[in-house]
Amino acid sequence: MDAAIQARIDAWLSGSFDQATKDEILRLQKENPADLADAFYRNLEFGTGGLRGLMGAGTNRMNKYTVGMATQGYANYLNQCFTNGVKVAIAHDSRNNSRFFAETAANVFAANGIMVYLFEELRPTPELSFAIRQLGCQGGVVCTASHNPKEYNGYKAYWDDGSQLVPPHDKNVIKEVDKIASIDDVKWSGGEANIIPVGKELDEQYMDMVKGLSVYPEVIAKHSDMKIVYTSIHGTGIKLVPPVLKKFGFNNVHIVKEQEVPDGNFPTVVYPNPEESEAMNLGLKLAKELDADILCGTDPDADRLAIGIKDNKGEWILMNGNQTAVLAFNYLLEARKTKGIAGPDDMVITTIVTTPMIDAIAAGNQVGCYRVLTGFKWIAAMIREKEGKEKYIIGGEESFGLMIGDQIRDKDGVSAVALLCEMAAYEKEKGRSLYEKLIDLYVQYGLYKEHLISITKKGMDGQAQIAAMMEGYRNNPPQSINGVPVVMLLDYEKQVKKNLQSGGEWKLDLPKSNVLQFVLDDMTIISARPSGTEPKIKFYFSVNDQLNSAAEFEAVNARLDEKIKAVIADMNL
534: pLDDT strictly greater than 70? no
Same domain, 363 and 288: yes
Among 143, 165, 198, the domain-final residue is 198
CA-CA distance, 318 to 383, in Å (whole number)? 30
Same domain, 246 and 146: no
CA-CA distance, 147 to 370, in Å (whole number)? 27
- Average pLDDT on 413-442 reads 97
Handedness of CA 272, 202, 214, 354 (dihedral sign): negative
Residue 454 a catalytic site member: no
**Three-state DSSP state, 62:** strand
Residue 318: inside a domain, yes or no?
A: yes
Residue 97: inside a domain, yes or no?
A: yes
Q: What is the pLDDT of residue 532?
A: 65
Angle at 192 between CA 186 and CA 194, to 5 degrees: 100
Q: What is the pLDDT of residue 531?
A: 80
Q: Which of 510, 142, 425 is closest to 299 using CA atoms?
A: 142
Same domain, 437 and 468: no
Query: DSSP secondary structure string, 285-306?
Result: HHHHHHT-SEEEEE-TTSSBEE
Q: Where are the alpha helices (DSSP H) in 411-528?
A: 413-429, 434-445, 459-475
Same domain, 165 and 217: no
Q: Which pTM value belongs to this model?
A: 0.95
Residue 31: inside a domain, yes or no?
A: no
| Residue 539: other Cβ atoms inside 10 A | 19
Same domain, 429 and 462: no
Percent helix, percent strand, percent coil in the chain, to nearest 5: 40, 20, 35
Q: What is the pLDDT of residue 47?
A: 81
Burial of residue 479, with CB atoms counted within 10 A of its CB: 0-12 exposed, 13-18 middle, 19 or more buried = exposed
Among 91-105, 182-196, 321-335, 460-474, the minimum mean pLDDT is found in 460-474
Residue 6: inside a domain, yes or no?
A: no
Same domain, 503 and 462: yes
Same domain, 427 and 279: yes
- Number of separate domains in the chain: 3
Task: Tell me the per-residue pLDDT of 552-572, one tens digit each, with 9 for 90 and over.
Answer: 999 999 999 999 999 999 999
Residue 227: inside a domain, yes or no?
A: yes
Same domain, 465 and 559: yes
Selected residue with higher pLDDT from 47 and 96: 96
Mean pLDDT of the chain: 96
- Average pLDDT on 24-35 reads 95
Task: Tell me the per-residue pLDDT of 40-57, one tens digit each, with 9 for 90 and over.
Answer: 999 998 887 899 999 999
- Single-letter residue type at 438: L
CATH number at residue 494: 3.30.310
Residue 36: inside a domain, yes or no?
A: no
Same domain, 421 and 452: no
| Strand partners for 396 | 350, 402
Same domain, 454 and 440: no
Same domain, 387 and 454: no
Q: What is the pLDDT of residue 533?
A: 60
Residue 58: inside a domain, yes or no?
A: yes
Residue 129: inside a domain, yes or no?
A: yes
Catalytic residue from among 94, 98, 129, 146: 146
Same domain, 93 and 192: yes
Q: What is the pLDDT of residue 460?
A: 64
Among 445, 463, 495, the domain-final residue is 445
Query: Is there a cis peptide before residue 272, judged by omega within 30 degrees of 0?
Result: no
- Average pLDDT on 397-421 reads 97
Domain assignment of residue 441, given as a range = 206-445
Q: What is the pLDDT of residue 412?
A: 98
463: pLDDT strictly greater than 90? no
Task: Tell me the per-residue pLDDT of 355-396, one tens digit each, with 9 for 90 and over.
Answer: 999 999 999 999 999 999 999 999 999 999 999 999 999 999
108: pLDDT strictly greater than 80? yes
Among 181, 198, 215, the domain-final residue is 198
31: pLDDT strictly greater than 90? yes
94: pLDDT strictly greater than 70? yes
**Three-state DSSP state, 91:** strand
Q: What is the pLDDT of residue 461?
A: 80
Among 144-153, 226-235, 282-291, the minimum mean pLDDT is found in 144-153
Q: What is the pLDDT of residue 535?
A: 77
